[in-house]
Amino acid sequence: MKITWLGQAGLMMETSGKIIIIDPYLSNSVEKIEPQNYRRVPVDESFLKVKPDIIVLTHDHMDHTDPETLEHYLPSGENITVLAPYNAWQKARKMGGTNNNYVMFNRKTSWTQDGIEFYAVKAEHSDLMGIGVIIKAEGKTYYVTGDTLYNDEIFADLPKDIDYVFLPVNGKGNNMNMVDGTKFCQKIGAKAIPMHCGLFDSFNLNDFPYENKIVPTFYKEIKL
């Protein structure tokens, strides 16, 4: 599994010849309505030319379900599977091409494709339909939390064999801060990849105090 950080909460996973893109934000659309949230890191436009097989959207906020980014993938897409909870699903299927498969991926929904297993789990966020996603591939279990606060109910949804957890630690917009993110990771016991920092703010992911972590770099492969 090759995993590249796209910035914010965006990930690109490559496995068995398939490309999965999660929550891509590769535009300046947020700045247009929230000028204080301007990009500190320019868009790498090479990622807009990627042809994904599967797109996962965890919730309907612009830095996760971004029309300006998705228009590079969906309208001319062929047989892209889009997994998204109801709010983001509605937006994606209205703007996307008719040749794609839009799967309403609410909490506790499962989807299996090309030997890759996806399972939607609870997230505690201001989009009440927001989810996290469990991905099983190549004998490993990956957990992308989506935007979320620490909430005890989340753990009941999670499998016991999580190898890697990708989580927000910016402490704003109803996301965990670094202290709560550390407690969250300690409860799961997996290797952690902190995210959702450095694009709209000056937070340093190296400050995340959880020991068993990998700090990602914009547009680079995360060496797991």
* pTM over cut 0.85: yes
Mean pLDDT of 57-73: 96
SS3 160: coil
Mean pLDDT of 136-165: 98
CA-closest candidate to residue 175, choices 201, 157, 156: 201
pLDDT-based confidence at residue 78 (cuts at 50, 70, 90): confident
Rounded Cα–Cα distance for residues 20 and 198 (Å): 23
β-bridge partners, 54: 20, 81
* pLDDT score at 2: 98
Structural domains in the chain, sorted by start: 2-31+39-207 (3.60.15.10)
For residue 98, pLDDT over 90 is answered with: no
Mean pLDDT of 183-204: 97
* pLDDT score at 134: 98
* pLDDT score at 159: 97
* pLDDT score at 49: 95
β-bridge partners, 20: 13, 54
